[in-house]
Amino acid sequence: MDGRSSKNKILPVAAPPAGRRDRSPPARYSGSSTLRTWKVDGGFLIDKAEEVAAGPTGDFLPRLHLHLVEHQDRIRVPSPSQHRQSMPGRPLLLNLGSRSGPICRACLSSIRRQAAQPSAAAYSSQASRRRSKPQSRTSGAISRQPDQNELRQYLQGIQELQGAPKNGDKEGFSVRFFEQNDKSRTELDEDEFGTSLSRLDGSELKDALFDIRSALATQEERDAFQTVMREMGGDVDKVASADDLEKMMAKMQAYTDSIDAEIEEAGAGLPKEILDELRQDLPDLPLLDESGRRQAAPPQIPERPWTPNQRKKITRLNSILARVFRDLRRDPGLTKKSVSSVYKAYHAARLPLARGWSNVPIDVWDLLWTIFSADESINTHRLAHVSMLARDMSEAKITLAPSQQLLTIEAVFVDGWESKAIDNWKRCMSTLGDEKSETFQQFWELGVRMYCRVGDMEQAERATAKLLERHMDARILMPLIRTLSEQGTSESQERAWATYRQMRDLLGKEMKLADYDQVVSYFLTTNQTENALYAFVDMMSDGQIDLKRQRYMPSVVANKFFLGKWLKRLIGAGDLDGAFSVVEFMRSKGVEAAPIHLNGLIGAWQRSGGADDLVKADKLAWDMIEARTNFVRARQAGSKQQQSLSSGTAPWPRATLETFSLLAENYRLRDLHGKLESLWDAFRDSEISPDAFMMNQLLESYIQAGQPKEAMTLYHSFVAERGLAPDPYTFSALWKTLAVNRLHVVAPDALQEETEATRALFKETLKFKQVFQPDGIDGQLARKMLHTFRRLKDNAGLLVALTALKDVFGFLPPETLAMELLLGTTKLAWDTPSQRRRLMLAKRDLDRALLAWADGDAERLEGDARRGEALYEYLQKKYWPDEGAYEDKRRVLVEVAKEMGVYELLAPKSRRKA
């Protein structure tokens, strides 16, 4: 079919015609093509499908060029959207001005013209009709049906096209190329047409940008957009190729980066509160985080490769990793909770991940390693986590860094695979252990520690020699000293001492106190007390005294003061058993420890709380008490003989008041009243003057044992018979002896007796009012006194106690105590509606009364002193008896004041008021 002679003339084609395939397609495009025809109502549509390789974005895109057949002076064009192929996302600017799209320019021009002619008939392709809503065949858009003659001509054209030769020697048709705009149509040759296709029209791009600018809402946004376009540089109209467009995009990216840099610089000086607000309002803003680093996207595992059930676990792991990634860039960084949450999420997602390790990105592995290799202070199971993660990374074919390999070997060793870890260490000897490797020192130190743990001292010494040859830190000998000491043989202990001396000689002045303490601890825990003493003397004398070479212990060492320094250091370090072994060793050398140091050891054992430690503390304390009682008996017998044991062993030091006090407090806390009574008997035999602390412990013990009468008897024996002065804690204990404070309900026939006992105890408290100076009486003790009178319904006693507390001790009731007294409870409850209503009503009445006291001036109630005065007067009015004559009331109050021992203190003021 000849396109120039036929009635149906072929219009612009986007590729070379058949027979000219030897010529290259337009620049950057290549591929094969086939020519096809479809029958459409009223005409033919000839199209050319071309496979396009490597477009401007590097993607392989299919492009469909439409060819229009002119029939009876009418052009029928399928809708462009019906011929578009699904394409990957492209940059906006590349699509705006592209001339190499899936629809040729001539077709687009024809589409625009037909869109402006409502009367033109529109035809859809079969593919389009399948996607669109079916239409009636009698639609008014179709003017008529083709007749038989026309159909015969169409069929003949199709047969000629199908039978056309495929080689380039015989052409069955010819193709003409045109370029058309709204005004004219120009015929082009094939080269010119290819150049036209690859050329971009900057005017269309410019129009599109202006459309974007006009769509912006405010003038400020339009001005900002105009500034961006001006900074991009160049004239948009001059964009004529994909390369020009790429250059324009590069300029825009450079301008964007410069803006980001300015934002970072400006954000670095902003306060934290403003930065937080900006991050919340504009999350995409490139602001710096709290540590001064630019915010980065958290590593994430892609979710596509997984099944829906697996994706749930992957999504949860991604969410936790994102949160922890942000925490790493802030203060305080990783926490125990964040490490634990990551481990739980990773452990749950581990099985799904194992089915596709290759889908886990490298940055996710790095983040997991950072989290799981965190310090033991926040990751208790650090090495176990590292061992698991290293196995997974090995299965995922991830190459570990040298430092990661070392940590993996250590983790595998600690995880119980000693032989496997040592084999891996040996295999890495030529790489990680090379002298030029940055991990040389860490590698050989790890070898020393592992060989010491398995007891292979020969290999451990070889690894140590590698380090010492290069003058590395001599503290690497510490594992050898520990292992040799633990072996327990005399030969190994000698080698341990020799190794210690070697380390000391190598370190010289760099030997620190912590190093000495570590060595002494190794010797003491392996029952080498003598070597521990020698090492401690080395520390104290800076190596000037070598006890190994002296036959007798010098006096500078054999005294209680030197021993006290050693014990104090050991107790402070928590080595209590080591301290006791030192005491026994020094006793065997005839050196007696001071009681104050042994009391410190007893207290440390008691504070530890272990059953064995408590037994050791009791035994040592009773040994000291026995030494004290023996000394008293010898003194009573007039003998100067002191306790001594065979072979020059020194006696135990004698117990002091502190020794008894430590045991008394411990027995009271453990509710061992029987032992406390035995201790009291021993205390009397020791002829030591008691103090208030010892008495208070005994009182508390009797009260806990339910023996309040014995507690009062003990108090009177101490105070009245021995002249011991009580302290404020004594009275805190005594007020617990009253039945009203011990029992929930007091029998009605016992109220009078309890009232008299309470008034008498108040009198006893006033008798020693000087012990509460200068700080005044404790608020809790005063509260207990007032509530005691309230429970007994002794309003007269409460009024006298309230007045005495104010005038004698300067105590004014706080508002909370006033509310408790008014509501008749020791605990203000807010749990139920009735309790809340009752509390609110009482508070309202109290506020009204206080405001009336201040004559409506709320400023007079400001300050604790003024408000306390108002509360004091309000309580007096509240508890003042309503019935009876004034003289009768006054006479009752005077009698109660005399009974409570405060009449003489309050009478002068009463007379002045009268």
pLDDT given for residue 202 in this prediction: 60
Residue 725 per-residue DSSP state: P
pLDDT given for residue 204 in this prediction: 64
774 preceded by a cis bond (ω within 30 of 0): yes
CA quadruple 542, 545, 547, 552: dihedral, nearest 10: -140
Q: What is the mean pLDDT of residues 464-493?
A: 93
Higher pLDDT, 22 or 789: 789
pLDDT given for residue 74 in this prediction: 37
Q: What is the mean pLDDT of residues 427-446?
A: 92
Higher pLDDT, 452 or 217: 452
pLDDT given for residue 78 in this prediction: 41
Q: Are 654 and 600 in contact (CB under 8 A)?
A: no
CA angle 642, 648, 650 (to 5 degrees): 55
What is the rounded CA–CA span in Å between residue 624 and residue 594? 11
What is the rounded CA–CA span in Å between residue 494 and residue 498? 6
Q: Which residues contact 885 (CB under 8 A, 6 or more apart)?
A: none
Length of the chain: 914
pLDDT higher than threshold 70 for residue 94 = no
Q: What is the mean pLDDT of residues 666-679?
A: 91
Ranking 140-149, 255-264, 510-519 by mean pLDDT, the lowest is 140-149
Tens digits of per-residue pLDDT, 493-533? 999 999 999 999 999 889 998 999 999 999 999 999 989 99
What is the rounded CA–CA span in Å between residue 236 and residue 201? 9
Residue (of 34, 47, 25, 32) closest to 100 by Cα position: 25
Alpha-carbon torsion (332, 334, 340, 345), positive or negative: positive
Tens digits of per-residue pLDDT, 781-797? 999 999 999 999 999 99
pLDDT band at 602 (very low <50, low <70, confident <90, very high): very high
pLDDT given for residue 596 in this prediction: 94
pLDDT band at 542 (very low <50, low <70, confident <90, very high): confident
| Sole residue written with tokens 């100076």 | 773
What is the rounded CA–CA span in Å between residue 520 and residue 912? 76
Q: What is the mean pLDDT of residues 903-911?
A: 65
What is the rounded CA–CA span in Å between residue 35 and residue 160? 12
pLDDT given for residue 232 in this prediction: 59
Higher pLDDT, 449 or 247: 449
Higher pLDDT, 619 or 56: 619
What is the rounded CA–CA span in Å between residue 172 and residue 165? 7
pLDDT band at 884 (very low <50, low <70, confident <90, very high): confident
pLDDT given for residue 213 in this prediction: 72
Mean pLDDT of the chain: 78
Q: Which two tokens stand for residue 680?
A: 């009291």
What is the rounded CA–CA span in Å between residue 179 and residue 185? 6
What is the rounded CA–CA span in Å between residue 113 and residue 180? 12
332 preceded by a cis bond (ω within 30 of 0): yes
pLDDT given for residue 235 in this prediction: 52
What is the rounded CA–CA span in Å between residue 488 and residue 481? 12
What is the rounded CA–CA span in Å between residue 454 and residue 447? 11
pLDDT given for residue 449 in this prediction: 94
What is the rounded CA–CA span in Å between residue 24 and residue 29? 9
What is the rounded CA–CA span in Å between residue 77 and residue 74? 10
pLDDT higher than threshold 80 for residue 58 = no
pLDDT higher than threshold 70 for residue 122 = no
Ranking 10-19, 203-212, 761-770, 871-880 by mean pLDDT, the lowest is 10-19
Q: What is the mean pLDDT of residues 151-177?
A: 62
pLDDT given for residue 913 in this prediction: 45
Q: Which pTM does this prediction carry?
A: 0.56
78 preceded by a cis bond (ω within 30 of 0): no
Total Cβ atoms within 10 A of residue 624: 21
What is the rounded CA–CA span in Å between residue 199 and residue 193? 10
Higher pLDDT, 908 or 332: 332
pLDDT given for residue 98 in this prediction: 44
Ranking 175-189, 348-362, 610-624 by mean pLDDT, the lowest is 175-189
Higher pLDDT, 584 or 552: 584
Ranking 188-192, 197-201, 421-425 by mean pLDDT, the lowest is 197-201
CA distances from 3 to 9, 111, 154, 173, 187 (A): 5, 22, 14, 6, 14
Residue 288 per-residue DSSP state: B
Q: What percent of the chain has pLDDT over 90?
A: 43
**Where in the chain are the domains?**
784-909
pLDDT higher than threshold 80 for residue 40 = no
Q: Which helix (H) or strand (E) holds 61?
A: strand 61-71
pLDDT given for residue 3 in this prediction: 38
pLDDT band at 173 (very low <50, low <70, confident <90, very high): low
Q: Are 517 and 570 in contact (CB under 8 A)?
A: no
Which residue type is seen at 628?
R
pLDDT band at 599 (very low <50, low <70, confident <90, very high): very high
CA distances from 171 to 51, 158, 412 (A): 22, 15, 76
Q: What is the mean pLDDT of residues 360-372?
A: 93
CA distances from 503 to 192, 450, 468, 516 (A): 88, 20, 10, 11
